[in-house]
Chain A
Amino acid sequence: MAPILKVEDINVYYGSIHAVKGVSFEVNEGEIVTLIGANGAGKSTTLNTISGLLHSKTGSITFMDEHLSRFPCHKIVSKGLAMVPEGRRIFLQMTVQENLEMGAFTQGKAGIDADLDHVFSLFPRLEERRRQVAGTLSGGEQQMLAMGRALMSHPKLLMLDEPSMGLAPILVEQIFEIIQELHKAGTTILLVEQNAQAALSVADRGYVLETGRIVTSGTGHELLESPAIKKAYLGG
């Protein structure tokens, strides 16, 4: 398995705050890889840097043998890299269908209906509400919409930032089932989570971030069993 995404020595700053310190990791094709860590560890900053919303001062990000730092943010999605941002960030004043159409912004008009059908088959609730304004959806439905919207661009690598945030346990379960379904269908997934238990149990590999640095890595199973991880992130 070749790495589809390779992050090498990135350093990201917010003004004088050094948020990500020399982070390197890779994601192989067909894997689910998770970045776990506490609040402020630099997980979301790392994802935002990969998707081009933020920029690293050093190092490189290579996606399918192309250096991403050469491209402005809006060019990156057409390379096959989509992100479901933290807090969902769907377009609240647009309808469900319009949100999904925005997800397909870089795709031609031709395949859009088939893609809509595909998303609706994954998330039947969205089809029922396709003409509804997204702001009226419940939190779980909004998360589904955010995921559906990202899928509209046919990503080879899907990055999910805290998909379980603020959701009821039953919905978290549903979201993780869908993540596994997408994975089975061939999408590579990079998952950022505070819910370490859930994330590690679906992940092939995981990296643990602490104050901007990767402190541990291993397979999902190894990390779940590691006493140090248990103590810090899994509640003993």
Chain B
Amino acid sequence: MTFLNFLISGISLGSIYAIIALGYTMVYGIAKMLNFAHGDVIMVGAYICFYAVSRFSLPPLAGVVLAMLVCTVLGMLVERLAYKPLRAAPSLAVLITAIGVSYFLQNTALLLWSSNPKVFPSVVGNGKIEMFGGQLTISHVTIVTIAACVIIMLALTWFTGNTRMGKAMRACSEDKGAAQLMGINVNATISMTFAIGSGLAAIAGVLLCSAYPTLVPTTGSMPGIKAFTAAVFGGIGSIPGALLGGLLLGVIEIFAKAYISTQLSDAVVFAVLIVVLLVKPAGLLGKQIHEKV
């Protein structure tokens, strides 16, 4: 029964990683860049929700929506100001810029909200369900997290498979030049991808802080790196890959904490990543594309 408990918290943590990883993977798929500031957008989302709920007494749902709006705008703004001017620059320059944006967001948060940890009020309350005479407990946060992840995955899969804009996004991710020849506005598509990814980051931030309620300006960086790992693990650029990578990473991390060592859990996670990449360099669901000539 403890095994089941661990498994469920692993899936819950993994769901959060998966939602963050989606942002990484979508942006990578379309803009071919690693947006290392993505983790810090999570932190901003969490702070916005925190202030909305505990200082301005907004209902939790309104707090989440507000956080999503702010993060969406923030994501588009970052893309417009920091990345778009570098569209033709070498990818290393873009990568360094992304790291710069990451520090910029962290330090701005430090300035605005200080380094004192905030205790984040869970947006879904602290209730839990007990089963088997109290041996198996599942908190409401866990249920909401897993449900949110499933809904987001289904919605995104539907969006990219069935809508005009979603298909345009896939076209851009394959070949920007050809997409432009079709009449697709590549800049607008990239901007929209950042908007979606950042909106999802806000949700991830709120869920993360509801489960692990200490909020500081660096809250987003470690989950950000882990989610990036998850995206690579599953195959960067692939949406199902982000889900699979996130869930596996979460479960491995919790199991490593439970059965091996709390201190070594991150080492175990990254060791597994290295092994997977040695065997499958494109990640679990990543495709190696062969072009016909």
Could you list which residues of chain A lie within 8 angstroms of chain B, going by C-beta atoms?
A: 51-53, 72-78, 82-83, 85, 87, 89-94, 98, 101-103, 105-106, 135, 137-139, 142, 149, 153, 166
Write the nearest CB–CB distance from B18 to chain A, whole angstroms.
21
> Given A93-B170, A139-B292, A142-B292, does the pair A102, B175 have CB atoms closer than 8 Å?
no
Contact residues in B for A102 (Cβ distance below 8 Å): 167-168, 171, 179, 182, 184
Write the nearest CB–CB distance from A136 to chain B, whole angstroms.
9
Interface residues of B in 154-204 (CB under 8 A from A): 164, 167-168, 170-171, 174-175, 177-186
Which of B181, B287, B290 is packed against the most chain A CB atoms within 10 Å? B181
Structural contact, B170 and A91, CB atoms closer than 8 A = yes
Whole-angstrom CA separation of A142 from B292 in the bound complex: 9
Contact residues in A for B182 (Cβ distance below 8 Å): 74, 77, 102-103, 105-106, 149, 153
Structural contact, A53 and B180, CB atoms closer than 8 A = yes
> Given A73-B181, A77-B182, A77-B183, does the pair A166, B293 have CB atoms closer than 8 Å?
yes
Whole-angstrom CA separation of A101 from B177 in the bound complex: 17
Structural contact, A77 and B170, CB atoms closer than 8 A = no
Structural contact, A77 and B181, CB atoms closer than 8 A = yes
Structural contact, B175 and A89, CB atoms closer than 8 A = yes
Whole-angstrom CA separation of A92 from B174 in the bound complex: 8
Whole-angstrom CA separation of A82 from B175 in the bound complex: 16
Instruction: Identify 19 residue pairs between A and B in the complex whose beta-carbon atoms are under 8 Å apart, listed by A's number.
Output: A73-B180, A73-B181, A74-B179, A74-B180, A74-B182, A74-B185, A76-B183, A82-B181, A85-B177, A89-B175, A91-B178, A92-B289, A92-B291, A94-B167, A94-B171, A102-B184, A103-B182, A153-B182, A166-B293
Contact residues in B for A73 (Cβ distance below 8 Å): 180-181
Structural contact, B183 and A78, CB atoms closer than 8 A = yes
Structural contact, A74 and B186, CB atoms closer than 8 A = yes
What string of 1s and 0s marks CB contacts (under 8 Å) between B114-140 and chain A? 000000000000000000000000000
Contact residues in B for A74 (Cβ distance below 8 Å): 179-180, 182-186
Contact residues in B for A78 (Cβ distance below 8 Å): 183
Which of A53, A73, A83, A149 is packed against the most chain B CB atoms within 10 Å? A73
Structural contact, A91 and B184, CB atoms closer than 8 A = no
Whole-angstrom CA separation of A104 from B199 in the bound complex: 30
18 more contacts with CB within 8 A, not counting A73-B180, A75-B183, are A51-B181, A52-B180, A53-B180, A53-B181, A74-B179, A74-B183, A74-B185, A77-B181, A83-B181, A85-B181, A87-B293, A91-B171, A91-B175, A92-B291, A93-B289, A94-B170, A102-B168, A166-B293
Contact residues in B for A53 (Cβ distance below 8 Å): 177, 180-181
Write the nearest CB–CB distance from A145 to chain B, whole angstroms.
12
Structural contact, A98 and B178, CB atoms closer than 8 A = no
Write the nearest CB–CB distance from A51 to chain B, whole angstroms.
6
Whole-angstrom CA separation of A223 from B1 in the bound complex: 84
Contact residues in A for B184 (Cβ distance below 8 Å): 74, 102, 105
> Given A73-B181, A75-B183, A85-B178, does the pair A135, B289 have CB atoms closer than 8 Å?
yes
Contact residues in B for A98 (Cβ distance below 8 Å): 167, 170
Q: Which residue on A lies nearest to B287, using beta carbons? A: A93
Structural contact, A89 and B170, CB atoms closer than 8 A = no
Contact residues in A for B292 (Cβ distance below 8 Å): 135, 137-139, 142
Whole-angstrom CA separation of A73 from B168 in the bound complex: 15
Whole-angstrom CA separation of A51 from B182 in the bound complex: 11
Whole-angstrom CA separation of A92 from B170 in the bound complex: 10
Contact residues in A for B167 (Cβ distance below 8 Å): 94, 98, 101-102
Whole-angstrom CA separation of A76 from B182 in the bound complex: 9
> Given A92-B289, A98-B167, A102-B167, does the pair A153, B174 have CB atoms closer than 8 Å?
no
Structural contact, A105 and B291, CB atoms closer than 8 A = no
> Given A105-B184, A106-B183, A135-B289, does the pair A94, B174 have CB atoms closer than 8 Å?
yes
Write the nearest CB–CB distance from B22 to chain A, whole angstroms.
18
